[in-house]
Amino acid sequence: MSMSLNRKLVLLFAGLMAGVLAMVVLVILFAFRSYSVASSTAHVKTAAEMVRVHLTESMIQGTIHDRAQFLKRLEEVDGLLSARVIRSHHVNDQYGGSGLDEMPADNLDRMVLADGRERFVVNDEWGAAVFRGTIPFPATSSGSPNCMQCHQVPEGTVLGAVTLEVSISELKNQALITVATIALVLAAFSVLAILALKRLIRPVGETAHAVEVAVTRAMAGDFKGRLESRTNDDIGKIALQMNSLMDFLDGGLSRINQRAAQLTQRQPRQDENQLEVTIDLVNGLADAASFKQAIEEDEHKAEIYDRFGRILSERLGLSHYSIYETDGQKQLIPIMVDGVPQGACKWCDEQILARNDLCRAKRTGHAVDGLTHPGICYAFQPPSGETAGYRHYCLPVMQQGGVGSIIQLVTDAEDAARLEEQIPYVRVFAREMAPVLEAKRLTETLRESALRDPMTGLNNRRYLEEYVDTLISAARRRKSSMALLLLDLDYFKVVNDTYGHDAGDTVLKSLATTLRNSVRASDMVIRFGGEEFLIVLQDTEAGGAAQVSENIRAAVEALKINIGSEILQKTISIGFAMFPEDSETFWQIVKFADVALYRAKHDGRNRVVRFNREMWEEGNTNY
């Protein structure tokens, strides 16, 4: 559990005060000790000098035997515990033993006698503090009286040492009482300071906690949290400014969310994170704008549908989706099924392809919500063998006041809620896509009309000129042969001259229908000009081309055309050449097929002629 700001500050201040108290106590104790040692040292030195002078006078006056009494009287001085004198061996060597009772020298005495340096120690045993000083008596010739009057030793020789012990327990007790008093005063001051600090910083901690709670709620999308202004200082101003910020964010996000919801037709929920939802909505609208900009630069509708399919699969994570496009009054064309272009109808009754009024979305022009209302559309039929309970959502894309396309989204029942959340974004992308699709459809219609013969419905020569590079590249890539058939109705001018141009148009329309029905869907039928037609048979050998040509000739010969009250029957002449056997240049093959057609006309019409090199060499190019 994290510690609050108030508690941290109080603990920090308490720690600082405890540290200050400890430092003060240590300084006072050190000062008292230093004072005690210095005072005791001065007293001991003074007493030691008195002893030295007294002993020197006693030596001169011959009263040295009274030394013990003198030392005894010194011990009666208040605070002086003991006094004793230790003679060095130099004195004993000159005068012999003193005959007086002397305590044996201890280590400290011997050290002083040896080097002549005074020494001071403090002994603290059983609560009694004792200061001991051992002072050497060096021989000196200065002063009166002086040591050299009695002792025959070099100057500076240590003649003895006096040891004095002084009690400093009283000083120690006074120091402890003083330290305790100061510590209590400081402790009381610290407690009062901590209480004052706690009272002072309480608004800071409470405001900080309130800010934390408000920010936590805001991260969860709730901007209703407000702070109480507890003071009139900077902390109070922070609370007021924080409330103003939350009001601004709450109002701003609400307005953004409302406008975004209007654009996406998304219904808000009570338990959702307003911030995350707003971010998702804005991102979705931005992605939709980028999507529209991208598809506006696409050339064909197929590119737009492919890009939209990637949006469904990659951005929205959908794997089952289909796109159908209306064709004429009754048909639907599968543009994409589960990501496969021109895939077979999978999730619906196939009858919708021929009767689009069976599709509820196409018939009503409204979205069909099979996520929340399963079974609403009878045309929805998942493939047999699928065990999961599938649900769907179909969205019509309106173009020119009607349904131009239908988007079908399919998911299993467990994932229906997630798909329902994605529907608003699908609507946005579909809405951005609709006008672009309409413009592309109009453009392609205009382009197709320019590339299609209006009377027969066949593609014209201009279409062939645009498509020829694609034909050659595909044939070379597949390393396959291609046949070019050039066809011309026999004596067509007689029809126009005899029956009129309306009859001639009827004949050409009937011929166009026969030609389309005689070849595969992958083959190409072109109205080349007048009564002349060109057919491109892809992936076809010469034998197959000859057979198809013969079938066409026979079908035309058997064709009966009603012209008012009369029935006409016409024949056709066909010449064909092969790619790449005859040439690797497309228009050269067209010329070769034309030469073969001329030979068919020359040889009696109503026949099929395969081009060979001799025809070209003979110069039969007049037609």
Q: Return the CATH number of the domain spanning residue range 5-173.
A: 3.30.450.20
Task: Pinpoint the alpha helices (H) of 265-397.
Answer: 274-296, 301-310, 360-364
pLDDT at 5 over 70: no
Quote the tokens at residue 80.
Answer: 């002086």
247: helix, strand or coil: helix
Largest distance between two CA atoms of the chain: 187
* pLDDT attached to residue 78: 66
pLDDT band at 526 (very low <50, low <70, confident <90, very high): very high
Q: pLDDT (tens digit, 9 = 90+) per residue, 398-422? A: 887 788 899 999 998 888 888 888 8
Chain centroid, CA 548 distance in Å: 63
Q: What is the rounded (10 degree) CA torsion for 87, 93, 98, 103?
A: 40
pTM for this one?
Answer: 0.51
In angstroms, the CA 73 to CA 76 distance is 5
Name the residue type at position 298: D
In this prediction, residue 598 has a pLDDT band, given cuts at 50, 70 and 90, of very high
CB 78 within 8 A of CB 167: no
Cis peptide before 454 (omega within 30 of 0): no
Q: Hey, what amino acid is at 205? A: G
pLDDT tier, 270 (very low <50, low <70, confident <90, very high otherwise)? low
pLDDT at 106 over 80: yes
| Cα(437)–Cα(442) distance, integer angstroms | 8
Residue 621 has pLDDT above 50, yes or no: no
Question: Was domain 459-617 assigned CATH 3.30.70.270?
Answer: yes
Q: What is the mean pLDDT of the chain?
A: 82
Query: Which of 7-16, 42-51, 241-250, 456-465 is modeled with the greatest confidence?
Result: 456-465
Query: In this predicted model, what pLDDT tens digit does every residue of 301-338 receive, in sequence order?
Result: 888 889 999 988 888 888 899 999 887 678 888 989 98
Helix (H) or strand (E) holding 89: helix 89-95
pLDDT bin (cut points 50, 70, 90) of residue 1 is: very low
Cα angle 164, 168, 169 (rounded to 5 degrees) comes to 135
Which position has the higher pLDDT, 26 or 96?
Answer: 26
pLDDT (0 to 100) of residue 61: 66
pLDDT score recorded for residue 3:
62
CA distance 563 to 242: 90
Residue 206 has pLDDT above 80, yes or no: no
Fold identical between 5-173 and 301-442? yes
Burial of 312 (0-12, 13-18, 19+ CB in 10 A): buried
Evaluate if residue 259 carries a pLDDT over 80.
no
Region 161-175: mean pLDDT is 80
For residue 483, the model assigns a pLDDT of 95
Distance CA 465, CA 459 (A): 11
Mean pLDDT of 59-83: 67
Q: Which residue has the higher pLDDT, 241 or 575?
A: 575
Architecture field, domain 301-442: 2-Layer Sandwich (3.30)
Q: Is the pLDDT of residue 269 over 70?
A: no
Spatial distance between the Cα atoms of 585 and 110, rounded to a whole number of angstroms? 131
pLDDT value of residue 174: 78
Distances (CA, A) of 470 to 462, 465, 467, 555: 14, 10, 5, 30
**Separation CA 449–CA 447 (nearest Å):** 5
Can you give the residue ranges of every domain in the chain? 5-173, 220-297, 301-442, 459-617
**Among 16-20, 123-127, 255-259, which range has the highest average pLDDT?**
16-20
pLDDT of 510 strictly over 90: yes
Across the range 513-528, mean pLDDT stands at 91
**Which 3-state string (H, E, C) describes 182-242?**
HHHHHHHHHHHHHHHHHHHHHHHHHHHHHHHHHHHHHHCCCCCCCCCCCCCCHHHHHHHHH
If one compares 255 and 372, the residue with the highest pLDDT of the two is 372
Which of residues 150 and 335 earns the better pLDDT score? 335
Query: pLDDT tens digits for 344-368?
Result: 888 999 899 888 889 999 999 999 9
Calculate mean pLDDT across residues 67-71.
66
- Using a pLDDT cut of 70, give the percent of the chain over it: 87
Q: Which residues pair with 332 in a beta bridge?
A: 326
Selected residue with higher pLDDT from 550 and 252: 550
pLDDT at position 145 is 64
pLDDT the model gives residue 622 = 47
Tell me the average pLDDT across 132-156. Answer: 76
